[in-house]
Structure 1
Amino acid sequence: MLQFRQDERTKGARIVKATPWRRQIIDTDAGGIETLDNGAGQNRAILLVTHGLGSIHSAEEIAEGLNARFPGRRIIAYSRPGRGASPECGHLASTDPLSQEAHALLPALLRALGLTSVDIVAHSDGVAVAVLFASAHPWMVGRMVAICPQVHTPERVDPSRCVEDIEKLGADHTNTLGAIRCWSAQCETLTANPGMVLDRVGALTAPLLLIQGLKDEYGAQRQMEALSDRVHGPMKWVMLRHDGHFPQHDNADVVIDMICGHFGDLSSETTSKRRQRRGAI
Structure 2
Amino acid sequence: MIAEDLGVLVDGVRLPACRLRPDGAAADAPVLVFLHEGLGSIRLWKDFPEALCRATGLPGFVYERQGHGDADSLNHWPRPVQYLEHEAEHVLPRVLEAAGIERMVHVGHSDGGSIALLHAALRPSGLLGVVTEAAHVFVEEITLASIRAARDAYRHGDLREKLKRWHGVNTDGVFWGWNTTWLEPAFAAWDMTDRLSAIRCPLLVLQGDKDEYGTLAQVEAICRGSGGPARPVFVPGCGHVLHHQGRAAVLDAMVPAIQEWTTPAAAS
Q: TM-score range by the shorter chain?
A: 0.7 to 0.9
What TM-score results when the alignment is normalised by the length of structure 2?
A: 0.82
- Partner-residue secondary structure (3-state), 1:184: helix
SS of aligned partner of 1:182: helix
CA distance in 1, matches of 2:93, 2:166: 24
Q: Where does the alignment leave 5 or more consecutive residues of structure 1 unmatched?
A: 1-18, 273-281
Number of the residue aligned with 2:65: 80
- Cα deviation 1:27-73 (Å, max 9, x = unaligned): 234521111212397573100111110001122322111122133x2
For 2:251 and 2:235, the matched residues in 1 are separated by: 13
> Hey, what's the Cα distance between the residues in 2 that align with 1:235 and 1:204?
10
Amino acid at match of 1:50: H
Q: CA deviation at 1:161?
A: 4.5
Closer, same or farther: CA 221–172 of 1 in aligned 2, 3 Å: same
SS at match of 2:132: strand
Q: Does 1:69 align with 2:65?
A: no
CA contact (8 A) 1:173 1:179 kept: no
Q: How does 1:93-108 map to 2 (within 5 A)?
A: 94-108=80-94
Q: 1:191 aligns with which of 184, 187, 191?
A: 187
| Equivalent residue for 1:227, pick from 203, 222, 227 | 222
Q: Number of paired residues?
A: 251
1:246 offset after TM fit, Å? 1.0
Structure showing greater relative contact order (alpha-carbon pairs closer than 8 Å, 6 or more residues apart)? 1
Q: In the alignment, is residue 252 of structure 1 matched against residue 247 of structure 2?
A: yes
1:251 to 1:39, Cα distance in 2 relative to 1, 3 A: same
What pairs up with 1:40-189 in 2 under 5 angstroms? 42=28, 44-71=30-57, 73-88=58-73, 90=75, 94-154=80-140, 155-156=143-144, 157-158=147-148, 159-161=151-153, 164=159, 167=162, 171-184=166-179, 186-187=181-182
Residue 22 of structure 1: SS of its match in structure 2?
strand
Kindly indicate whether the alpha-carbon contact (under 8 Å) linking 2:49 and 2:60 is maintained by their aligned counterparts in 1.
yes
- Whether the 8 Å CA contact 1:34–1:85 is kept in 2: the answer is yes
State the identity as a percent.
25
Partner in structure 2 of residue 202 of structure 1: 197
Go from structure 1 to structure 2 and tell me whether the alpha carbon gap of 1:172 and 1:22 turns closer, same or farther (over 3 Å shift).
farther
Shift of 1:88: 4.1
For 1:139, what is the secondary structure of its paired residue?
coil
1:175-233 CA distance string (max 9 Å, x none) = 111001222355358834432x2111111111111111111112331221222221231
| Counterpart residue identity of residue 4, structure 2 | R
What TM-score, normalized by structure 1, do the two folds share?
A: 0.79
